[in-house]
Structures are given as C-alpha cells and as structure tokens.
Structure 1
Amino acid sequence: MDLFSRSWTALRTAVAELPDEDFAQPSGCTGWLVRDLACHLVVDAQDVLITLVTPAEAEPT
C-alpha cells in the first residue's frame, strides 16, 4: 500500500502543478492529450482502491 500511496501522491502533485493549457497538449501516448492520460490514470487508481476493498471468497488472481 505504501507504493500505491507514494505513486498516488506523485500523480496528484504532477497534475496539480500543470498549467491549464498543458492539459490540451499531446502526451507521450500516441493520440492522447495530457488530460486524457491524467483522467485514465485517476480512473485506474480508483479501480485499484475499489478492488482492494471489495470482499471476495475466492483466492486472489
């Protein structure tokens, strides 16, 4: 969980420091703007948190 917390903090810090106009710039991912990539990373982080707190009877995969 420590690695997730550190990564999440780093992502939030990086995004918070971007000027608004940078969100409309191309990212390092072909066809994605910076805002697309930032949203994708935030949604994925939310999915991780949901997965961590979702009870399951089966062994983890």
Structure 2
Amino acid sequence: MDTAIIGMHSLSGVWLQARCHQESAQHTLVDAEITTIALTAARFFAATSEPLRRCSSSSAT
C-alpha cells in the first residue's frame, strides 16, 4: 500500500508539472499531496464506502 501511495504522489507531481501547474501562494499542502489524498481514498477505500452509499440512499426515500 505504501508503494502505491508513493507512486501516486510521484505521478501526481509529474502530471502537474507537465501541465505547467502553478502552486497557490497560500497553500498548506502541495497540490500533488491533495491529488494523492483523493486518489488514495478512491483506490483503497471505495469498497468500504459503497455499503454506506446504499444505506444512505435507501433511508433517504
């Protein structure tokens, strides 16, 4: 899991550099770190959020 997260962070940084992305002057996290957080959540925690989505959508009706 650690290797996958490090790989995602590296790829995010390279991708943002290739797009000539400019960091905000008021940032507390590097934009590659924010992208890594989103990718990690989608990759490793999507399966655990699916039952929650089903529960919340059925109770909303």
Interval containing the TM-score (normalised by the shorter chain):
0.3 to 0.5
Give TM-score, length-normalised by structure 1: 0.39
Give TM-score, length-normalised by structure 2: 0.39
- Structure with the larger RCO, 1 or 2 (CA within 8 Å, 6+ apart): 2
Greater helix percent: which structure? 2
Larger Rg: 2
